[in-house]
Structure 1
Amino acid sequence: MIRIGLGPREKQKEIDSYLDNNGIKKVFCFYFKAFPVKYKVDCDIEYIEYADIEMYKFFYRLLDNIDHSSLIIMDGCMRTQNRSELIYNCAHHYLNQTPHRLIFEHFPIIESKDDFMILLDFENKGKYKGKGFDYVYLQNEDIKIKPVKVKLETINVETTEKDRERYEKKKQQLFDGLGEKDPDTIPRNLQILAGDIKKKAIEPDKLYIARNKRFNMENVKSYQEITGKGDYIVIDMHYRRLNFNDFLKTTGMSRIKYLSTVLSIDSVIITEFMKWKARLEAIYAQASLYK
């Protein structure tokens, strides 16, 4: 069973229903440390943090303990886009020990539609090995989705000729000095500069999110500081999609306000975000909805 977009109460309801109908003797719940979980069950339950999935001290013990009377819950364990990652392969060994699996995620993908195949691999590794995403798979398994819809609004920040000249100069410097460096460092550095230019638009009575603490302002937080619900205006969108997805999950934000300029990096960021949003909505449109 794959359930996407559910809140804590809805996930508990799914677990209760499964336990009531399947004679489960023990639950093994795998979770990611940034999103710890606690479920009420009448049988024994063991929680294993994501990073421990591949640890030797857990591996053979879990293989011995997990059997056909066990329920495995994979709660938010899609943490890398690499389907061949060792940690996923270890998880598959556990999942193959029992037919009882509950897979929870907040979003159906990290970045690409093919990310959804990671969840299908959790459900049935052998069935989908080597296959790319196809919308028909959404109907092939017990999959229900509660859409987590997001909306992006831009707040225009005026730039001066000096700002634009500074930006173009920095861009040229980055290209000239690229050499053998990772080309992704160019947009990352340009975004930091664009964020610095946006500082003039920061209002003291509103909360903002930035890549780091360079502004030294109490109302501007870094992504690492966010631990709960809140409403933030985005200065720098995190360059790692997974980290930004985590931010949305943590804060509960569905309406994103983004400080934007005429600088080219903002156009790139907005375009890439809208492409990701379109991929999400295409999956939502063809999936069975959770009710």
Structure 2
Amino acid sequence: MDHEMTYGSDYKYIPATSIGSGVGMNVLPDVYCYTIQIVNICLVGHPDGSDFVLVDTGMPNSANEIISVVEDRFGINSRPRAILLTHGHFDHVGSIIELVNHWNIPVYAHELELPYLTGKRSYPKPDPTVEGGMVAKLSSLFPNEPIDLGSHVKLLPSNGNVPFLPEFRWIHTPGHTPGHVSFFRETDRLLIAGDAFITVRQDALLKVISQEQEISGPPRYFTTDWGQAWESVKKLAALNPEEAVTGHGLPISGPLLTNGLQKLAAEFNHLAIPDYGRYVNKNSH
């Protein structure tokens, strides 16, 4: 790793020049966020123990980097108890096959994501015609094919419990994908939101590079149901999270999170839903 950063409940802003690929943050003592190119993975568990999980697995060809991050934090030959997936897009499962083979551990996901994780169905193609910046226009290059985890993938428990994380519950937050989920811990109001909302305009190349922080809707080029996406943001805003780790962009807390998320929930039709695009239903506005 290049270097590590920390922040607590008084976190306000981290300059964009200090964040980027290969950088890790201690969000809380037992929550570590690490950025791989354009996407975040999350390790949940105290670093002085062996009971931890990995949330999402980043970009393709980053398995060795993730293994190194895990061993730096938890010790040589350590491995998570499981991998939890917010969803199965390529930038969240890019290294999962190699990691599962290396660690021989289960993967948990929502039932509606299973077709994309067992080789049965491809995601809808990304939309390069959607309103947005350069990343959106290049999105036709992004893979949408399924992966096949076979018997390694298991369903998240239907009662909302999260395997190996007894203080957390999972929340179905569809819209970006049918089976997208977020993870929430009531005790400290920590939210791992995946791509239900993010803290950078992921469709705009300059903002991705600078990591200019702003609470935004899910990545436009891969979101196929904007009505569901809006309802998911409302659901997460109602939780009143105090800390949030998202799939893209910097972790966020305090008034920036509270005010930004409430504003997004109230004005999602103006702030998040594109004016045009293949998956834009004007009734969502």
Question: RCO greater where, 1 or 2, for CA within 8 Å and sep 6 or more?
Answer: 1
Q: Which structure: larger Rg?
A: 1
Q: TM-score, normalised by structure 2?
A: 0.30
Q: TM-score, normalised by structure 1?
A: 0.29
